[in-house]
Structure 1
Amino acid sequence: MTASNRPLCVDLDGTLLRSDILYESLLALLATNPLYIFLLPFWLLRGKAHVKRQLASRVQLPAETLPYDERVLEILRTTTQRPRVLCTASDRLLVQPIADHLGLFEEVIASDGQTNLSGSNKGQALAARFGERGFDYMGNGQVDLKVWAHAGGAIVVNNGIGLANAAARHTEVLAHLPSQNGGLITWIKALRIYQWLKNLLVLVPLLTAHRFFDLGSIIDAGTAFLAFGLCASGVYLLNDLLDLTPDRMHPRKRKRPFAAGTLPLLHGLLVAPLITLAGFALALACSPAFAGVLLCYYVMTLSYSLKLKRIVMIDVVLLAALYTVRIIGGAVAINSDLSFWLLAFSMFVFLSLAMLKRYTELTSALASGKDMAIGRGYSVADLPLVQSLGAAAGYIGVLVFALYINSPESLELYRNPKLLWLLCPILLYWISRMWIVSHRGDMHDDPIVFAAMDRSSQIVIGLCVLIVLLAI
């Protein structure tokens, strides 16, 4: 049989798909109910094929949203003169919908709950079906060497020249499509280092307590900043892993590394706990009390990612609380007293920004012709209410600040507290402008990051810092 008419057998995970169905289904299941993790060891006692069947029977993965390798799809589209077979170790319950969606395969061979069709099992199954050297096989990993030992030809996908050379020792290598996985820049994007801007809030107590020239306080605040950043990045990774399907339906979030398949899911599952533990190690180095605050932040963020972000109003209140916890953490890190005024001001202002985030998501959904924000509990009919509640919260925050100016605490900290009145119109302008920008559809879905990049907001921040320094 010549190469031109040998069946082309294509692996799914890591080859046709820039992801892994086993991890996709596991994460989808844990996203619906994290308690399933306690059943996994019992399923595993009956074998890997049984685990895959249990996962496949409990989840659905929308085939139209999965990240396919366009190079492989192009080969399949242009290969019509010979049979095309989707041959994978993933469970048939999840594989068949993918084959049906693509419409590019004449046959599907997959795990069935009894046999895990991987490595030597797959090679023997294909040899029994098509004969020794009677098929070409497209794969991506070391385990596929056991399949290429039976194949007439090999197409190596998403791996380096080392695997291609190893495959050549078993059969003829017909083509090599190198890996397109991301590198350092992709990891920086996945860790969302730019979101660390939010953690600058831990420095606020350093400024309000007028301890910005105290070296010990600066070191403690800097350690707290890094600890919050690492912990937050760990949660971002976990959130992206649990939100694969909703992210793929979002016009911007579908480009995130795990949703787009540019980073392996397994790597994310390994890195997320490691950097979280690194964050807690830094927190303990700062102080046990600060580590306790960081633990509260982590539990709150994890609760938000797993469930609470889908519950109307609880989500925005929790978001506002998460911003405020950063300020609390900064105060605890430098052993400074917490200011009632600062906490009240931050809670209302950040509630406004949290509502602004939801408002932006809803306007995006409305522009896309959708009735609901993806992965949220709000509908586009809620837009006027979200707008009014959010703007009111922001103005109340400014009111709290105005009351603070004449408080005994302000008179004690500032030599010229009346200068602080200049901040009120500036803050009113900034909050109003943020809402107008969002109303016009010109805002990124994260107001904090938008403010950090927005020239007008940068000027406002500079003016506020200058006025505070003059008032001291």
Structure 2
Amino acid sequence: MQSIAKLIRVRHWVKNLFLFIPSFFAGHLFKTQELLMVLLGALAFSFVASAVYVLNDYRDRDVDRLHPEKKFRPLASGEVKTHTAWVLMALLLGSGFWLAASLNTTFLYLLLGYFALNLAYSFGLKHIPILDLFIVSLGFLIRIYSGGVIADLPITHWLSLMVLLLALFLILAKRRDDILINGKHKNGFVIRKSTKKYNLVYINSCITLLSAVMIVAYIMYTVSPEVTERFQSDYLFVTTVFVIAGIMRYLQIVFVEKKSGSPTNIFIKDKFILTTIAGWILSFYIIIYAL
């Protein structure tokens, strides 16, 4: 069971908390029925996303065996047999789409679109530089729109923009880790084909650019008349402290510690990142729900 959980990457289900973002920003955190529906939607999304992980691991198993960390993945190491992986993928897809259909038809279409996009990514688009970054980022946008559809809440342009910027930032940091690993292979082998069109100067420049744009965009969001009027508060800018601190810590992990290979592990294990996230959530909670 441990190998199966590792194969479907249960810890990566934390990414599907993005479905709760629309409800959080709308001030609906205590609407039990709505949150239950979104929770079921996040579970459906987790099932389908796990099926995609299984498919990608199956297709990349030979390449993963040459990666210092990915070689321990269940399919690459042989812990899980290929026929087991196919059965598991079918069960995950069936359960995910059935649950989505029972919740909301539009959500089902979004989930089908997410799966189709990832199929295209897995079977070729991931090898096209820059496009590969935006495809992965689009997956996070689909998540927040899914949460909005289930909760019957509109998604603002501000929210879409900030999620896109954050996703691009995290993906670029992960690509940087791939480039560093490629440099350690003296035979010219590359972990990911699209990284042939990237180098550290380009990736570093993009990461720096996006981190700056994210901070500016977030500040503009917190002080925009539309947002301050909707939340009836002029103090949202206070939460910027945690955003800047979190980004600075992530840049430290990327450039100093050089451990940006798994954003999920960083968000789960890094104490400073966890503290900034908790501080951001708490401050936003106080401003939205208490003041």
For 1:446 and 1:376, the matched residues in 2 are separated by 19
Normalised by the size of structure 1, how large is the TM-score? 0.58
* Unmatched runs of 5 consecutive residues or more in structure 1: 1-183
How do 1:429-448 residues align onto structure 2 when only pairs under 5 Å count? 429-448=245-264
Q: Are the aligned partners of 1:415 and 1:471 in contact in 2 as well (CA < 8 Å)?
A: no
> 2:192 matched to 1:375?
yes
Q: Secondary structure at the match of 2:205?
A: helix
In the aligned structure 1, how far is the partner of 2:63 from the partner of 2:232? 52
- 2:279 — aligned with what? 463
- Retained in 2: the 8 A contact 1:363–1:441? no
Task: Say which one has the larger Rg.
Answer: 1
The 1:289/1:436 distance shift into structure 2, 3 A limit, reads same
Distance change (3 Å), C-alpha of 1:214 and 1:442: same
Distance 1:470 1:308, change over 3 A: same
Check conservation: 1:290, 1:333, Cα contact below 8 A. Answer: yes
**Separation in structure 1 between the aligned mates of residue 237 and residue 203 of structure 2, nearest angstrom:** 29
Identity rate of aligned residues, in percent? 25
Calculate the aligned-residue CA RMSD, in Å.
Answer: 1.7
The alpha carbon displacement at 1:441 in A equals 4.2
Q: Does 1:219 align with 2:43?
A: no
Q: Residue 427 of structure 1 corresponds to which residue in structure 2?
A: 243
The question of whether the paired residues in 2 share the 8 Å contact of 1:362 and 1:380 is answered with no
Partner of 2:48 in structure 1?
A: 231
Give the corresponding residue for 2:151. 334
| Bigger helix share | 2
TM-aligned CA deviation for residue 372 of structure 1: 5.8
More strand by share: 1
Residue identity matched to 2:59: L
Deviations 1:371-403 (A, max 9, x none): 564133214971111111122112212222211
Pick the aligned partner of 1:272 from 83, 89, 100: 89
Mapped contact 2:173–2:260 kept (Cα < 8 A): no
Q: Which has the higher contact order (CA 8 A, sep 6+)?
A: 2
Letter of the aligned partner of 1:201 in structure 2? F
Equivalent residues, number: 288
Shift of 1:431: 1.7
- Select which of 27, 35, 42 maps to 1:210: 27
1:267–1:429 CA distance, 2 compared to 1 (3 A) = same
Give the superposition deviation at 1:317. 1.2
Q: Which residue of 2 is the match for residue 408 of structure 1?
A: 225
Mapped to 2, the partners of 1:370 and 1:231 lie a distance apart of 37
Structure 2: distance between partners of 1:327 and 1:396? 20
Cα distance in 1 for partners of 2:267, 2:223 equals: 29
Question: Equivalent of 2:104, from 281, 284, 287?
Answer: 287
SS in 2 for 1:393: helix
Residue aligning to 1:392: 209
